Structure 1
Amino acid sequence: MSTNPGRVKKDEGFLGKLGGTLARKKRSKEVSDLHEEGKNAINAPLLPSSAELLPEDLLLEENAERSMLDPTSREDPKFKDLQKVLIDWINNELEEDRIIVKDLEEDLYDGQVLQKLFEKLSGRKLNVAEVTQSEIGQKQKLQTVLEAVNELLRPQGWTIEWGVDSIHSKNLVAIVYLLVALAMHYMAPIRLPEHVSVHVVVVKKKEGILQTAQVTKELTTTTEMMMGRFERDAFDTLLDHAPDKLNVVKTSLITFVNKHLNKLNLEVTELESQFADGVYLVLLMGLLEDYFVPLYNFYLTPESFEQKVHNVAFAFELMQDGGLKKPKARPEDVVNLNLKSTLRVLYNLFTNYKSAD
């Protein structure tokens, strides 16, 4: 079988040229990739490793900055728990308005829920349109609501960590900051998770290059610092300067309450936890004042937070009926296991009834 040498030569020349072209393109692509890799390596320290940069972040003007929640913080169980507590609180406050919040970012950005919540908490009616569909209208409503909030909180020393643009752009950290501040100022009957912090990536454009930094934002501290906003008294001094004497005080109070509760074959070993549902407080008041408290006046086996608050509030009423001053503590604080609040209530009973049989 014969072959055509000319055809073979032609094919070899064509394939050789094609191979050379492909090889050059490959080398060119490798150089391009290497250049891109080098550029990425130079900028790598400036770019967030876990936060996604959105298109609007790349379009930042010179010296402008944008912040975003680090995805790892978004999934943090304590941060999620804080959001749930705030959502439940809002829904409870706005139950009569038939408002149900499911997602803080999606449900609060337009100002409608924030307006209703502030009006409910403050007892003030804001002069804003009820329904606003346009972005301009929503921002105008937000402006009015936030001005009222800031006017209330700023004189109390609050750092304003939110604004119209951050709330409207669904900045979750700003929204949570605002809600925590309102909950603390109005002493909401909720237990905020302690020591909740999140990482926020701040992106800034400088000389045309995006620079980023990770900042830690502390959303909550301790329950005592957040909710125990009372005038300083002997217990503040005791806990701040002589915590070693706290057990002596607790032992004296336990001895006092057991002296009376033992008559009903009841005994207390933990002050903050065993008085939290209000049952022992009600029974103790009946024993101290020498009367029987009808069982229909309180929940003997309370299950919900509201039932426990009812019991403690009822015990407070009995104390005032007995001539005692209104307790400084709130019923919610006792239910929330706030030790200082519980100590204040029991110490008040101790000083007034320590001679009672």
Structure 2
Amino acid sequence: MSSAPPRPPAPRLPRMKKEESFLGKLGGTLSRKKRAKEVSDLQEEGRNAINSPLSPILAGLHPEDTQLEENEERTMINPASKESPKFKELVKVLIDWVNKVLEEERIIVRNLEDDLYDGQVLQKLLEKLSEHKLNVAEMTLSEAGQKQKLQTVLEVVHKLLRPHGWALRWSVDTIHGKYLVSILHLLIALAMHFRAPIRFPDYVSVQVVIVRKREGLLHSSYITEELTTTTEMMMGRFERDAFDTLFDHAPDKLSVMKKSLITFVNKHLNKLNLEVTSLESQFADGVYLVLLMGLLEGYFVPLHSFYLTPESFDQKVHNVAFAFELMEDGGLQKPKSRPEDVVNLNGKSTLRVLYSLLTKYKDVEE
């Protein structure tokens, strides 16, 4: 039986080259498009480099900050200034203070620009500080409504600050536009006016970039904006009174005033075998101030309420603040001085506090 002849092998179809396959063709198309986009982006970058003045600061700004219409101008902080340790500390101090004030409102601020621009938090902050309700809508979602709320809030702020000659370096538009420098100026002024129990870093400034578009070209200029000097200097504009006149123009009368105060406090502290010779230094830790209030009001101050031998700055501030509370309980107005200033040996602040005690308790028997 003869076997069938072997069948010739089936002819192999030629393999498509990789780049001729469907995926290969697709990949090649995508690759070409990617290369084309890269070329386009490179050309655009080149045009920008030609059309814009060479400025290292402009290169560090967010792209949106340089997309301007003809003759438009935009002001912003130099990104490098935001990295300054003192600037960061200033922002943190203000955020912590705002959050402390609004603690009962369960409002938490994390970013000053994003959280304060619409006026909602500023309204609550001002109401809490001034203990006065503002006549504004609680919720405003529209831009017009937000600006109207800001206008109302800022009008109240201006009435508070104008008598002290404070420069108003903010506006509805700059606050709503999230311009951080304006927001910082506003919060610093409020903190000073309401004598916030905080201390700012001294001499904080930022470099401000002003970008303008003229004839299709971006032009930039720079100014340095001062945010703080020293807490004492900034507070001074709110505290100028008879003591400033004594300090500045009548040192002989100031000396007489100090002798009167020393006589007054020793008349009472001598009961505890304590004696004062230096008003600024011996009242700085708050201990004598607390004991003096107890003697003047005729009660024993529990030792667990204050630090009898304070060691840290915070413990001393606690003592002075506690003495201020005792003063208010005794019917005195809230002291204009800040506890921190008394602890820092600020003579005017200490004399103001003691003079208010002399005025009220000068007739108290030994």
TM-score by length of 2: 0.67
* Cross-structure match for 2:202: 194
CA distance in 1, matches of 2:83, 2:251: 37
Structure-2 change in CA distance of 1:39 and 1:331 (3 Å): closer
* Cross-structure match for 1:61: 69
In the TM superposition, residue 181 of structure 1 has moved relative to its aligned partner by 1.8
CA distance in 1, matches of 2:59, 2:48: 20
Residue by residue over 1:305-338, the C-alpha shift from the partner in whole angstroms, topping out at 9 and shown as x without a partner, is 56641223314655x6xxxx76863454655634
CA distance in 1, matches of 2:93, 2:168: 21
Q: Which amino acid aligns with 1:230?
A: E
Q: Which amino acid aligns with 1:124?
A: K
Structure-2 change in CA distance of 1:202 and 1:273 (3 Å): farther
Do 1:111 and 1:141's aligned partners in 2 also have CA atoms closer than 8 Å? yes
Q: Which amino acid aligns with 1:294?
A: V
* Cross-structure match for 2:306: 299
1:232 equivalenced with 2:241 (yes/no): yes
Do 2:294 and 2:301's aligned partners in 1 also have CA atoms closer than 8 Å? no
Structure-2 change in CA distance of 1:146 and 1:259 (3 Å): closer
- Aligned with residue 74 of structure 1, among 82, 85, 88: 82
In the TM superposition, residue 131 of structure 1 has moved relative to its aligned partner by 5.3
CA distance in 1, matches of 2:351, 2:139: 46
Residue by residue over 1:206-251, the C-alpha shift from the partner in whole angstroms, topping out at 9 and shown as x without a partner, is 3332222221112223323322423521x31343347899899879
Q: Which amino acid aligns with 1:345?
A: V
TM-score by length of 1: 0.68
Structure-2 change in CA distance of 1:209 and 1:331 (3 Å): closer
1:313 equivalenced with 2:325 (yes/no): yes
- Aligned with residue 134 of structure 2, among 105, 125, 136: 125
* Cross-structure match for 2:186: 178
How many residue pairs get aligned? The number is: 313
Greater alpha carbon shift after TM alignment, 221-230 vs 325-334: 325-334
1:43 equivalenced with 2:53 (yes/no): yes
CA distance in 2, matches of 1:50, 1:254: 61
Pick the structure with greater CA Rg. 2
Q: Which amino acid aligns with 2:196?
A: A
Three-state SS of the structure 2 residue aligned to 1:214 is strand
Do 2:120 and 2:138's aligned partners in 1 also have CA atoms closer than 8 Å? no
Structure-2 change in CA distance of 1:182 and 1:336 (3 Å): farther
Three-state SS of the structure 1 residue aligned to 2:60 is coil
* Cross-structure match for 1:142: 150
* Cross-structure match for 2:219: 211
Three-state SS of the structure 2 residue aligned to 1:43 is coil
Structure-2 change in CA distance of 1:247 and 1:207 (3 Å): farther
1:84 equivalenced with 2:92 (yes/no): yes
Structure-2 change in CA distance of 1:156 and 1:128 (3 Å): farther
> What CA RMSD, in Å, does the superposition of the two structures yield over aligned residues?
4.3
* Identical positions, percent: 57
CA distance in 2, matches of 1:118, 1:104: 15
Greater alpha carbon shift after TM alignment, 171-180 vs 101-110: 101-110
* Cross-structure match for 2:229: 221
* Cross-structure match for 2:292: 284
In the TM superposition, residue 176 of structure 1 has moved relative to its aligned partner by 0.8
